[in-house]
Structure 1
Amino acid sequence: MNRNKSNRLMPLIMAVCVVVGVVIGTFYTSHFSGNRLSIINSSGNKLNNLLHIVDDQYVDTVDINKLVEDAMPQILAELDPHSVYIGAKDVQAVNDDLKGSFSGVGIEFTIREDTIRVQNVVNAGPADRAGVKAGDKIVSVDGKPFVGKIVTNDEAMRRLKGPKDTKVKLGLLGYGEKKVRYVTITRDDIPQRSISATYMINDNTGYIKVKSFGENTYPELLISLAKLSQEDLQNLIVDLRGNVGGYMMAVIQMVNEFLPKDRLIVYTQGRKSPRQEYRSDGRGSYQKIPLVVLIDEGSASASEIFAGAIQDNDRGTVIGRRSFGKGLVQQPMAFNDGSMIRLTIARYYTPSGRCIQKPYTSGSDKDYEDDLMMRYQHGEYFSQDSIKHEGPEYHTSIGRTVYGGGGITPDIFVAEDTLGVTSYYKEAGMTGLIFQFAYDYTDENRARLGEFTDMESLLDYLKKQNMVERFASYADRKGLRRRNLMIRKSHHLLERFIDSRIIYNMLDDEAWIEYLNLDDPAIEKAVDVFKAKQAFPKKAVEPRKADKGGKTAMTVFGKGYDYRGTHVSCSLTAKG
C-alpha cells in the first residue's frame, strides 16, 4: 500500500522540484547576469504586441510588412550614421557596387526627355556583340514600350539587369533614324573596374586612380603596378579623391604592398569585437618607391585606412584636403527574406592609435549630415588655417603630430579652385545644361569624333571648335541667358567642363581622368614633391645654440612636432 502511494506521489514531487529549480535558476540568472536579457525580450514582445494591436484594431487597414520596412531604418538610425537597413530589392544593387562583376547587358546610359540614351557600350560585352551603339535610344524592352514617366534609373536597371544567360529584347533608335531596330541580347557577366585610370604622368611618375575598394581591387592594383613598371616607374601617385571606401581586407592587402615587414596597417576594436591588428608581411614589391596619396573631403572609410597607414608609418606624403571622417566598421547581416542590415560592430584605428571618426550624436544628427557643407561655409576648402582639430594628438613613427576625431588631415594642403567661378558657371553646371550640351554635341558629331582614338588628338580637335561659344548659344536657347562678362571670366572652367564630358562620352574613364589631371594642382604638387625628393617625411629639426667655435648645430626634436606649421599651402589657380 505504501509503495502504491509513493508511486502516485512521484509525479507531483518531480513537478514541484522542476518548478523550484526554475525559480532558483531565474533568481541566480537575474542576480549574476542582470536583467538585460529579460529587458530585451520584454522590449521585443512590446514591439510585437504593438504590431499585433495595430493590425487588429487600427481604424484603417495597415500593411504591416511595409510598416516594419519603414521602421527598420529609423531604429538603426538611432545608433549611428552608418548602421543601415537595406531592403531585399536593393541588396543586389548595393552588393554589385563592390563585386568584381554583375550580370547585365553591358551599357552605360543616361536618361533624357524620359528616354534611355546609350552613353557607352562595354567593349566586347553582350550589347556590343548584339550591335548596340553609343547614341542609341532604347524605346522598348521585351516588346513593351519603355518611354515616358515610367523610365527611371531603378526601373531601367531592373529591366536591363538579370541572371546570366537570360535574354532581353531591346527596341533601338539610332541618331537620325526613324525606324526602330530590334536586337536580342544574352545577358552575361560585366566586369566592374575599381581602378579607373593607370598611366604615366611623366617619364618616371606613375598614376593610379582608385574609385572604390571592391573584391578585385587588389588584383587590379597589381596589374596596374606591373603595367607602370614596364614604363620606367620611379615614383607613384595613388589618387583616392572621391573614393568613399569599400572592403577593409582589400585596402589592407593594397597597403601591404608598400610597407616593410611588421608595420601596423590598422586595428579594429568594439564592445563585442576584441582588438584585432592587421600588419604588413614584408612581401610587398613596392616598399621603397616614393609615394604620394591624394585625398579630399570625399575620401572615406577604406580610403582613410590607406592614407592613415601611409601617413602614420611615414611611408609617403598625403596631399589634398581633409578627408570625410568615417572610422566605423560595419558587418553585413542577412535576413531570411533577402533583406539585410549593415551594423556597426567596431571602430578602426590608424597605426598611431587615432580613430578618425568625426563626432556624431545618436539619432537624427543634422550637423553630421551637413558637415561637408559646414566645412565649405567655414572656409576649410580654401584655407588650411580653417581646419579645426577637435580630437586628441597622436604621433607618427618619427614623431610627427597627427589628429584623431575628424578625418585625415593631409601633409600638404591644396585648396579648392574658386578662380573663374561665376553664377553663370554654377547655373550651367547645376542645371545639367553642360551635360546636355556635351551629349547632344557628341551625338550630332559622333562619326567625326569617332576618328580620334586618344585623348590628345580628340582634345586638339575640340580646341578648334570654339566650344564655349557653341555652348553659350545652346544654353541661351534653353533658357540660360547669355552673360558675356561672366562667360569670359569662366571661359577656362566652361571649356574644361565641356571638353571633359565630350572626351568621356567618346572614350573612357581613363581618358577623361587624364584630361582633368592636365592642370590639376594636386598632381602638380605631387610632381614637385618627387622632384624635390621629399616624398618620404623627415623628422623636424631646429637650430641649436652655437657652440664655442661659433658653429650652429642642428638637433632633432625629442618630441613629436606640430605638422600644421610645416604644411605647404598651394592655392588652386585656373590657367587662362
Structure 2
Amino acid sequence: MTMNNRNNKRFMPLIMAVCVIVGIFIGSFYANHFSGNRLNIINNGSSRLSNLLHIIDDQYVDSVNINDLVEKAIPQILAELDPHSVYISAKDVETANNDLKSSFSGIGIEFVIRQDTIQVQNVIKNGPAEKAGLLAGDKIVAIDGKPFVGTQVTNEEAAHRLMGPKGTKVSVGVMRYGEGGMKNFTITRDNIVTKSITATYMLNDTIGYMRIKSFGEATYTEMLSSLAQLNAQGMKGLVIDLRDNGGGYLQAAVNMANEFLPKDRLIVYTQGRKSPRTDYKSDGRGNFQNLPLVVLINEGSASSSEIFSGAMQDNDRATIVGRRSFGKGLVQQQIGFPDGSMIRLTVARYYTPSGRCIQKPYQPGDDADYEADLLNRYQHGEFFSQDSIKQSGPAYHTVLGRTVYGGGGIMPDVFVPEDTTNFTSYYKQALMSGLMLQYAFTYTDQNRQNLKEFTEMQPLADYLKKQNLVEKFADFAANNGMRRRNLMIMKSHSLLEQFLDGRIIYNLLDEQAWNEYINANDPTVLAAIRVFKTGAFPKRPAPAQQKR
C-alpha cells in the first residue's frame, strides 16, 4: 500500500463527517426556504434584526422601502439607551456638524420660522446675503424658483436648501414689508465665519465681560483674543457668561479652563464601561491664573458649559452665579455609516474634579419625562427660590473643603431667581405669538432711513426710549388679533420696552450691541458685579469651634 493510500484512509472519517454536516445544513436550508419558514434562522442567528429586515423585504405582502424603515427604526433603538444617543441622517450630518465649526459655506443669514415662513432675523455683515441686498425682516417664500412655505418649512430643510458649496448660487424669493410683490435675489454662497464668543466689552472701568454662545473649534482662540482686548482696556476681573450655552467640544472647555488654573489641577475626567478613566489636567501655562473670575450659568447651560463651571467651582477658582445648570454629563462618540449618516453614541460620563457626575437622573426610554425636566423645575419653583432646589446626590468637597452636591447639574454659589415681578399673561402671549419680534422687524424696516445714522448702542437706545414703542406695539398687536389689556400693558411696560428696543438694536447693529443693552439691567450680571465689590469669592471654611 502506498503512502498516499494510507493517508487517504486515515482522513476518510473526517471527510465523511464534514460531508454529513454540510448535507444537513443544505437540506435544512432548502427545506426552510421552500416551506417559507425562516423563524429558526432568526432564533439561531447572530443578528435577528438583520434577518428580520431580509424576511420583510423578501416576503411581506406589500412592497416596503427598507431604507425608510431603517431610518425610522434606528432612532427608536437609540432612544431606549439614553436621551443623548441619537441618529443623524446623511442629509442632516453637515448641518449638525456646522454648529460647532468656525466657518461653513452658505448665504450668511440667521433666521426664525414664523407661521410656516422663513423670516430673516439677522444678516451677517459683509456676507453674501448682505451683498445681494437682503435685510433683517425679509420673508423668504421661494428658493430656486419653487415656493417654500407651509409645513415643508423646517429648520433642517431650510438650512439644507440655503447652504451649499462655496461659489454655487441660490435664488431666493423675498416678501418685504411695504413693497408689493416678490423680490428675487441671486446669492453666491461663500464661507461664513461664525463666532462662538458673541460679546466682549467692559462692564465698568475694571470688570470685563465675555459671552460664550457655544464651545466650538475656534472658541479657545477667540477667548485668547477677547482676553487680550479686555486686558488692554484695564480689566482687573472677568465675568464669563455661559447662560443658555448648550455646550460643544470637550477640548474647547478644557483649554479654556487651563488658562485660569495652576499646574496639575484636575479639570474633568471621563469614564465608561468600555472607556477607561481619562483625566484632563491643567499644565500651568495659563496667563490668567490669578484673575478674579465669575461664571454665569442657568438652566440652559449644558455639557461643556458644565465642565468649565464645574472645574472652576471644584477648584475654588471662581464664583458661580445664576441658577442650576441643565445636567448633561454623557459623552458621545460619533460613528459614521457608509451611506454618510452617523450616530452619536454615549460611551462615557463626565465627572467634575470632586467626583460629581454632571448628568441628571433619567430613565432609559422615557424621553418625555427627561425633556419635561425644565418645565418641572419651573413648576416646582426652582427658578424662583433656592430652597426649592432638591439635589438628591451625595456630598462632595472642593479643593478648599467647601461642600458641593451631585445629582445633576452645577449648583451656583450665588443664586439669582428669575424675575417675574412684571410678568403678565399679556407679555407671555406677545412673546410666544411672535408678534413682538414681527413688530420689531416692521419698525426697523419702516424707519431704516432714520435709524441708519446710529452706529452705537447707547445713542440708539436713548432714541428708541422716546418713541413710545410699547403703545405702538399694542396697536399693532390689536390689529393682528391680540386683545388689548391696558392694565397688563402698564405692569409689563418695562419688559415689553426692553424686548422691543433690544430686538431693534439687534436688527440694526449686532449681537454684541444687543448684549450690552440687555445686560445693563440684567439681575444676574448685576449680581456678578456685586461679587467683585464684596469680594465674595471662594474661601476655606472656618474650622468648627470646639465646645467647652
Aligned residue runs from structure 1 range 502-517, under 5 A: 502-517=504-519
1:539 aligns with 2:540: yes
Residue by residue over 1:62-86, the C-alpha shift from the partner in whole angstroms, topping out at 9 and shown as x without a partner, is 2211111111011111111111111
Residue by residue over 1:196-224, the C-alpha shift from the partner in whole angstroms, topping out at 9 and shown as x without a partner, is 11111001100011111011111111111
Match of 1:124 among 120, 123, 126: 126
CA distance change for structure 1 residues 342 and 16 in 2, over 3 Å: closer, same or farther? farther
Q: Which residue of 2 aligns with 1:402?
A: 404
Match of 2:97 among 72, 76, 95: 95
Instruction: Describe the SS at the equivalent of 2:520.
Output: helix
Percent identical pairs in the alignment equals 64
Residue by residue over 1:464-487, the C-alpha shift from the partner in whole angstroms, topping out at 9 and shown as x without a partner, is 010111111111111111111111
Q: Which residue of 1 aligns with 2:520?
A: 518
How far has the Cα of 1:357 moved from its partner? 1.1
Q: Which residue of 2 aligns with 1:254?
A: 256
Q: Which residue of 2 aligns with 1:6?
A: 6
Instruction: Describe the SS at the equivalent of 1:163.
Output: coil
Residue by residue over 1:76-117, the C-alpha shift from the partner in whole angstroms, topping out at 9 and shown as x without a partner, is 111111111111111111100111111011122344565544
Residue by residue over 1:445-494, the C-alpha shift from the partner in whole angstroms, topping out at 9 and shown as x without a partner, is 11112221111111111100101111111111111111111111111111
**How many angstroms apart in 2 are the aligned matches of 1:74 and 1:358?**
22
Amino acid at match of 1:155: E
Amino acid at match of 1:516: I
CA distance change for structure 1 residues 484 and 541 in 2, over 3 Å: closer, same or farther? same
Residue by residue over 1:309-366, the C-alpha shift from the partner in whole angstroms, topping out at 9 and shown as x without a partner, is 0000000100111111111111110000111111111111110011121111222243
Q: Which residue of 2 aligns with 1:34?
A: none
**How many angstroms apart in 2 are the aligned matches of 1:43 and 1:467?**
70
**How many angstroms apart in 2 are the aligned matches of 1:258 and 1:164?**
38
How far has the Cα of 1:129 moved from its partner? 3.0
Instruction: Describe the SS at the equivalent of 2:121.
Output: strand
Match of 1:380 among 382, 400, 404: 382
CA distance change for structure 1 residues 40 and 255 in 2, over 3 Å: closer, same or farther? farther
Q: Which residue of 2 aligns with 1:478?
A: 480
**How many angstroms apart in 2 are the aligned matches of 1:522 and 1:285?**
27
1:323 aligns with 2:325: yes
**How many angstroms apart in 2 are the aligned matches of 1:12 and 1:196?**
80
How far has the Cα of 1:405 moved from its partner? 1.8
**How many angstroms apart in 2 are the aligned matches of 1:75 and 1:200?**
49
**How many angstroms apart in 2 are the aligned matches of 1:78 and 1:114?**
32
Instruction: Describe the SS at the equivalent of 1:541.
Output: coil
Contact 2:456–2:509 at 8 Å: present in 1 too?
yes
Amino acid at match of 1:168: V
How far has the Cα of 1:427 moved from its partner? 1.0
**How many angstroms apart in 2 are the aligned matches of 1:253 and 1:15?**
65
Instruction: Describe the SS at the equivalent of 2:77.
Output: helix
How far has the Cα of 1:12 moved from its partner? 3.4
CA distance change for structure 1 residues 257 and 43 in 2, over 3 Å: closer, same or farther? farther
- Unaligned residue ranges in structure 2 (runs of 5+): 20-40
How far has the Cα of 1:521 moved from its partner? 1.2
**How many angstroms apart in 2 are the aligned matches of 1:211 and 1:44?**
46
**How many angstroms apart in 1 are the aligned matches of 2:302 and 2:363?**
19
CA distance change for structure 1 residues 152 and 272 in 2, over 3 Å: closer, same or farther? closer
**How many angstroms apart in 2 are the aligned matches of 1:400 and 1:334?**
43
How far has the Cα of 1:44 moved from its partner? 4.8
Match of 2:164 among 162, 165, 169: 162
Q: Which residue of 2 aligns with 1:347?
A: 349
Aligned residues: 527
RMSD (CA atoms): 2.4
CA distance change for structure 1 residues 318 and 468 in 2, over 3 Å: closer, same or farther? same
Residue by residue over 1:10-54, the C-alpha shift from the partner in whole angstroms, topping out at 9 and shown as x without a partner, is 5536658999xxxxxxxxxxxxxxxxxxx9995752112221222
Match of 1:363 among 362, 365, 382: 365
**How many angstroms apart in 1 are the aligned matches of 2:52 and 2:127?**
52
Instruction: Describe the SS at the equivalent of 1:406.
Output: coil
Residue by residue over 1:142-164, the C-alpha shift from the partner in whole angstroms, topping out at 9 and shown as x without a partner, is 34454566544433322221011
CA distance change for structure 1 residues 114 and 408 in 2, over 3 Å: closer, same or farther? closer
**How many angstroms apart in 2 are the aligned matches of 1:42 and 1:387?**
51
